[in-house]
Amino acid sequence: MVKRGKLSGKRVLVTSGPTRAPIDAVRYITNKSTGRLGALIAEEALREGAEVTYIYGKGSVLPQVAESASLRLVEVETVPELMERVREELEETNYHAIIHSMAVLDYVPEAPREEKVPSGREEWQIRLVKTPKVIKMIRDLNPQAFLVGFKLEVGSPEEELIGIAHRSLLANKADLVVANDLLQIERGNHVGYLVNPEGEVVARAEGKEEIARRLVEIIIRD
């Protein structure tokens, strides 16, 4: 008899890893995300029987699972490409849960150069402009899905971090936000605070594996 997981028959969308924005023909800006947490979340969802679409940035860690018809990989690079792929997915498919863990660049060069800028220049000023909020687009396109956002701060005290995460949740109409701090992560002490719409910490998880496990447990209960 085939064992059915608790998410059997459910579709889950996970975004993960970094985004890039070109500066010129050979240079780009990006962020520090490795995508490892997103990959672990996808693995947990697959173990529970979900059909997972994994949208990941170039260089991102991929889910370490045997080849499976339940996992579909979609690679993106830039924020506009991410938005296009997410829009296509949500217009074509109804997802039970969407875990938006991708590190989306908040600012990108306004006018990237098509050619390579010579390295002999003494100065090069680049104007950055704000990008759209992808999580807002996700909520607009799929208002019924259980939506999980992520909030990364640097050096914020626990109470302040949780407050920032709660405000982000309300602004983006998410169902849960995972709050974490970069300094803790870089020191090898990755603590995730899972914050609900009431501003309560429904789970405090230590380490990426536990964050992924507790998050999927909450999605199962939804």
**Enclosing domain of residue 138:** 11-109+129-221
User: What is the pLDDT at residue 215?
Assistant: 97
The DSSP bridge pattern shows strands 191-195 and 128-130 to be unpaired
143 falls within a domain: yes
**Residue 1 is assigned to a structural domain of this protein:** no
Predicted confidence band of residue 170 (pLDDT cuts 50, 70, 90): very high
Whether 105 maps to a domain, the answer reads yes
Does 69 score more than 80 pLDDT? no
The three-state secondary structure class of 36 is helix
| pLDDT at res. 4 | 63
Token pair for 134:
């992808």
Residue 30 belongs to a domain with what CATH number? 3.40.50.10300
- What is the C-alpha to C-alpha distance for residues 175 and 195, in angstroms, rounded to an integer? 9
Number of domains in the chain: 1
Q: Is 119 among the domain residues?
A: no
The whole-angstrom separation of Cα 73 and Cα 65 is 12
Rounded CA separation 194/175 (Å): 10
114 part of a folded domain: no
Which pTM was predicted? 0.93
In a domain, 165, yes or no: yes
Provide the residue type at 163 as one letter.
G
Cα separation, 25 vs 54, in Å, equals: 28
Of 136, 50, 46, 40, whose CA–CA distance to 96 is shortest? 50
